[in-house]
């Protein structure tokens, strides 16, 4: 089997399936890594070889979620070989190959932590990027991909193109996030790219900021403040704050771009303020009814 041609065809297949460039790159990188590691013809790989590959990834201390993503990519490739290339080989990645996943609750920032973070973010670009994550719930990849034509600040909204799962959606922008965006756009200057957020210094000045570039800025502010924080924590914080402000779960699901409501409902588990408020509000009603039913004599 000519693996070079097969991978080229597989790439075309994924593009036809409308996978995002980011996902496409990840799938193919994992596949190439696997092919090099097994070092045998791909049709000779069996479930034992997949188990050895899993052990190899574990030895590198990769997270279970990352390892399972590797296995999903490999399983999809073998499905492609069977159904599209009509190469009749069994899929060596079994359902039980996946590692058991811990399910930690999403971590959000407390209000005072949000204040500490934004107190040290002085650069207009960084302030705008992270305010949009916090107030609009955008993923880091979505922030990197926002174009000037996607901004509709007169109506306080952003059009998110090809978010996770290649789904478009509209998100809304709070006053402080809008102000941060406008402050940045005033100093951004003309650039050849339509992307909103650009590199400001060095040989790549004026080019779109990368996902890794945004993450590195957050890592810098985490060191500066001593907070344990990532870009995704801002998205979790937005969801939790909206729940605490009595927003409907289905509304938050739509804003975050979640496929299923189960993902969004996980935020309910950490929304203790709302639970506490609902409890005491209900208790007031219960005790009032009890007092009316059994008046003091």
The one catalytic residue among 131, 139, 178, 236:
139
The one catalytic residue among 11, 107, 161, 164:
164
pLDDT tier, 161 (very low <50, low <70, confident <90, very high otherwise): confident
> Using an 8 Å Cβ cutoff, are 162 and 139 in contact?
no
The one catalytic residue among 47, 195, 232, 274:
232
258 is an active site residue: yes
Domains of the chain, each with CATH number or no CATH: 3-97 (1.10.150.130), 111-268 (1.10.443.10)
Could you report the per-residue pLDDT of 176-195, keeping only the tens digit for each?
999 999 999 999 988 989 99
Percentage of the chain with pLDDT > 70? 91
What is the CA 193 to chain-centroid distance, rounded? 24
The C-alpha angle 37, 39, 41, rounded to 5 degrees, equals 130
Could you report the per-residue pLDDT of 243-260, keeping only the tens digit for each?
888 888 888 888 888 877
Q: How buried is 279 (Cβ within 10 angstroms: 0-12 exposed, 13-18 middle, 19+ buried)?
A: exposed
Q: How buried is 69 (Cβ within 10 angstroms: 0-12 exposed, 13-18 middle, 19+ buried)?
A: middle
In this prediction, residues 51-76 reach a mean pLDDT of 93
The one catalytic residue among 135, 178, 235, 236:
235
Can you tell me the distance from the alpha carbon of 297 to that of 295, in angstroms, rounded to the nearest whole number? Answer: 6
The one catalytic residue among 70, 75, 127, 258:
258
The first and second tokens of residue 208, run together, are 């779109």
Strand ranges across the sheet with 157-160:
151-152, 157-160, 169-172
Q: How buried is 242 (Cβ within 10 angstroms: 0-12 exposed, 13-18 middle, 19+ buried)?
A: buried
pLDDT tier, 272 (very low <50, low <70, confident <90, very high otherwise): low
267 is an active site residue: yes
15 is an active site residue: no
139 is an active site residue: yes
Q: Which of 38-42, 83-87, 226-230, 263-267 has the lowest mean pLDDT?
A: 263-267
pLDDT tier, 163 (very low <50, low <70, confident <90, very high otherwise): low
288 is an active site residue: no
What is the CA 85 to chain-centroid distance, rounded? 32
Q: What is the pLDDT of residue 19?
A: 83
220 is an active site residue: no
The answer to whether the pTM exceeds 0.85 is no
């Amino acid at each position: 089997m000519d693996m070079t041609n097969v991978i080229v065809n597989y790439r075309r297949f994924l593009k036809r399936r409308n996978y995002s460039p980011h996902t496409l790159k990840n799938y193919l990188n994992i596949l190439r890594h696997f092919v090099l590691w097994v070092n045998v013809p791909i049709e000779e790989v069996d479930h034992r070889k997949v188990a050895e590959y899993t052990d190899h990834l574990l030895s590198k201390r990769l997270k279970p979620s990352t390892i399972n993503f590797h296995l999903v990519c490999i399983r999809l490739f073998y499905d492609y070989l069977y159904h599209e290339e009509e190469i009749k080989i069994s899929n060596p990645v079994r359902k039980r190959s996946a590692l058991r996943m811990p399910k930690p609750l999403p971590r959000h920032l407390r209000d005072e932590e949000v204040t500490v973070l934004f107190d040290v973010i002085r650069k207009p670009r960084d302030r705008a990027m992270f305010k949009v994550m916090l107030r609009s719930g955008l993923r880091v990849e979505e922030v990197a991909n926002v174009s000037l034509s996607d901004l509709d600040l007169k109506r306080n909204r952003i059009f998110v193109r090809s978010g996770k799962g290649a789904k478009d959606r509209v998100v809304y922008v709070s006053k402080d996030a809008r102000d941060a965006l406008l402050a940045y756009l005033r100093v951004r200057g003309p650039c050849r790219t339509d992307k909103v957020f650009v590199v400001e210094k060095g040989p790549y000045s004026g080019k779109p900021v990368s996902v890794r570039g945004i993450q590195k800025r957050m890592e810098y502010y985490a060191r500066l403040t001593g907070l344990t924080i990532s870009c995704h924590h801002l998205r979790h914080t937005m969801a939790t704050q909206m729940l605490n402000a009595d927003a409907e779960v289905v509304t938050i699901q739509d804003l975050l771009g979640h496929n299923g409501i189960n993902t969004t409902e996980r935020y309910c588990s950490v929304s203790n303020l709302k639970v506490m408020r609902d409890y005491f509000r209900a208790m007031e009603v219960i005790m009032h009814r009890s007092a009316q039913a059994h008046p003091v004599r």
